Amino acid sequence: MTAKISDIEWAVEFASSGFGDHEAYIDKQSGAIFYVGDAVEEDIPDDLFENSRYIAVPDKRDLGLGKRLAIRFISEHLPTKLDKTYDIFSRSGAYGRFKELLTSANKLDDWYSYEELALKKAIIEWCNKYSVKFSSDA
């Protein structure tokens, strides 16, 4: 069996959320995804943390989709704002200020499309690297 790309994307988003401990694991044999974290009351396999058939789903930073992706987007779409972007990411609360910059430049929707495509590509590469079978949602 395989996992749907959209389900893996959701698991990456879950693992990336900064509110408490959030982890997701995928069963490489069945494609099932298990969520572990604060306020999650889902049954998980007894051997989730010991059996190699389960692999931790990475978060966005592990996939290179944090600051580096934002800077790459700016260098491609708003190169005159690159210094400002470096400044934004030198302090906490960067993502909110980054979105403000994009909004003021009317590039927020472009960013979301760029980020979505980069996420899908990174997940496919991750799945291939770790032999996780997946299917498209189409």
pLDDT at 92 over 70: yes
pLDDT at 50 over 90: yes
CA torsion angle 23 28 32 37 (round to 10): -10
pLDDT for 56-69, tens place per residue? 999 988 998 989 99
Burial class of residue 111 (count of CB atoms within 10 Å of its CB; 0-12, 13-18, 19+) = buried
Q: Amino acid letter at 9?
A: E
8 Å CB contact between 81 and 92: no
8 Å CB contact between 35 and 42: yes
| Pairing state between β 22-27 and 54-56 | antiparallel
What mean pLDDT comes out for the span 85-96?
Answer: 93
Q: Domain extents for the chain? A: 3-59+122-135, 67-115
Burial 48-65 (b: 16+ CB within 10 A, else e): eeeeeebbbbbbbeebeb
| Pairing state between β 22-27 and 3-4 | unpaired
Task: Out of 16-25, 26-35, 97-106, pick the least confident.
Answer: 16-25
pLDDT at 49 over 80: yes
Nearest by Cα to 6 from 87, 124, 131: 124
8 Å CB contact between 60 and 16: yes
